[in-house]
Each structure stands twice: as structure tokens, then as C-alpha cells.
Amino acid sequence: MNLCTNAVRAMPRGGELTVRVESTQVDKPRDLTLGRLQPGCWLHLSIQDTGIGLGTENLHSIFDPFYTSRAVGEEGSGIGLTVVRNIVSSMGGAIEVQSTPGVGTTMSVYWPLLQPPAASADAQPATPETGEGQAILIVDDEPELVRLAEEIVASLGYEAIGFSDPTTAIESFRRAPARFDAVITDERMPVLHGTILAGMIHELRADIPILLVTGHRERQTDARALRAGIIEILDKPLRAGALRAALGRAFAAAH
């Protein structure tokens, strides 16, 4: 989604966005813009736009935090491609960027293609742990990410209550602190950082578990989270499996 969003923003006067997914065989090692392909079978995702394009000198820096080619005042935090880099790198993948100014850009993402293990005849399907309707306060300054988090939280059996404005969220919590059972908050928000918001929430109710979500984790983030009483930090993008486990640990520790 980050790659597609960037492609759309690179075409302010319109254009064509093409998404392809295919498997590809690599016969010899090949260095890409980020990472290296080894011989074997890879899953290849390409996202191509007909937008403004990039100069060769910018191809590596676009993955740095807060790099952006957008004008001041336009939407976007400048960490979208950093998140992409972190996801792909953590999965052992690689990224190739091909771009021509005035013509467009193609982002090619490669992941090692794995064969699923054969299922045992007597294996029982795993039953995922789910919530019991506990109310989860969700705070993120990007409405799209609030909606995504709400969908994930609801799919896990919890009640999702989302806010894209942290000041509105703290006002709602202040009015009814007993209404909520846990909090999930983004860290980098323009009005209140998530760690500051967590401190304000804990001043009102010290026992509520708070999870911090961030796409740019650093040592200072961990230190701020510890001081704010945050019990766990999750990486962006939010994944259902990681959130299920984190909420399970949070509620188990509370009992």
C-alpha cells in the first residue's frame, strides 16, 4: 500500500499505475538497489507508475527516514518507503528501483519463494486466541491506519474505538477511563507523541496496558516508552498475528 500510495502521489496530473505479481527464477547472484538476489525461486511484485520519476542520485536516499520529494504542506510523513525497506529486509527480500525523470518509476520487490510444508494427516488446525469483547482505544494521526487497526482489532474479537486526533482521544478517555481495557497508539503524531499520550493516560488510570506502534524505532523510543509505562512496542505495519500475541500477553499479565 505504501508503494502504491507513493506511485499515485508521483502522478499529480494523472497517469497509469500497473501492479504485477509473478514468480521468477534467478540463475546467478544479482545486486539490486537494496539487497542481493541469490539463485533460486523468488516472488516478484512490481509497481509501475508514469509519474515524475527520480534522478539516479536519489534512488538510494528515498528509503531513508523522512526523505520526501513532496512540497511543504503536502500529506505524508516521509517514512513510507522506510517501512517498506524494513519489511522486505526482515523477510530476506530485496528491492530494485528503476526510474527515469519525466517518464516514471518501477519498484520491484523480491521475496524468497517458499514451499509450504506438507500437512500431516492427523494434524489439527490451530485455533487462534481471540478477545472477549474488550474495548481497545486506537490512536493514529492517519485515518487510513486507524481504520486498518480497527478492522484488525475487530477481527481478533475485541471492540475497536479509533481516533485520528490524540487530543480527542485523551478527552474521550478522561470522560470514561473505565470504558477502555487497553490502548494502541502510534508514536509519531504532530500534536502528541504516543509516549506523551501514554503518560497522560496513565496519570488518569495507571493499570491500563498500552501498546506503542512505530515505523521508525530507535533507542530513544524504547527509553521514552519505558518511562511512559508502555508494555510493548510493535513495528508498523500492524500485523494481526503480532497484535493478537501482544494483546494476549497484556491481558494475561493483568489477571
**Tens-of-pLDDT digits for all 255 residues of the chain?**
889 988 999 999 999 999 999 999 999 999 998 889 999 899 999 999 999 988 777 776 777 764 454 443 444 445 678 888 888 888 889 999 999 999 999 999 999 987 766 655 555 544 446 788 999 999 999 999 999 999 999 999 999 999 999 999 999 999 999 999 999 999 999 889 999 999 999 999 999 999 999 987 777 888 899 999 999 999 988 889 999 999 999 998 876
By residue range, what is the domain housing residue 104?
2-112
Give yes or no: residues 102 and 168 share one domain: no
> Is the pTM for the entire model greater than 0.75?
no
Look at residue 122 and tell me if it is in a domain: no
Torsion of CA 184, 190, 195, 197, to 10 degrees: -70
Residue 51 lies in a domain: yes
User: Residue 156, Cα to own-chain centre: how many angstroms?
Assistant: 18
DSSP 8-state secondary structure symbol assigned to residue 148: H
Question: What is the per-residue pLDDT for 145?
Answer: 92
**Closest of 244, 208, 37, 8 to residue 126, by C-alpha:** 244
Q: Are residues 141 and 250 in the same domain?
A: yes
Q: How far apart are alpha carbons 49 and 124 in whole angstroms? A: 45
Regarding whether 41 and 75 lie in a shared domain, the answer is yes
Judge whether 124 lies within some domain.
no
Which pLDDT score is estimated for 57?
72
**Within this chain, do residues 237 and 157 fall inside the same structural domain, yes or no?**
yes
For residues 31 and 77, what is the distance between their CA atoms, to the nearest angstrom?
29
Q: Are 112 and 40 in contact (CB under 8 A)?
A: yes
Count of structural domains, the chain: 2
Same domain? 149 vs 205: yes
Are both 33 and 105 inside the same structural domain?
Answer: yes
Is 120 inside a domain boundary? no
**How high is the pLDDT of residue 152?**
93
Same domain, yes or no, for 45 and 108? yes
The answer to whether residue 129 sits within a structural domain is no
Last residue of a domain, which of 112, 127, 157?
Answer: 112
CATH number at residue 248: 3.40.50.2300
CB 245 within 8 A of CB 200: no
User: Is residue 117 situated within a structural domain?
Assistant: no
Residue that is last in its domain, among 59, 80, 112? 112
Residue 147 shares a structural domain with residue 248:
yes
Residue 116: the pLDDT is: 64
CATH number at residue 49: 3.30.565.10
In the prediction, which pLDDT does 247 show? 94
In a domain, 30, yes or no: yes
Q: Does any domain span residue 130?
A: no
CB neighbour burial string for 219-244, b if at least 16 within 10 angstroms, e if fewer: eebeebbeebbbbbbbbbbbeeebbb
Residue 26: how many other CB atoms lie within 10 Å: 15
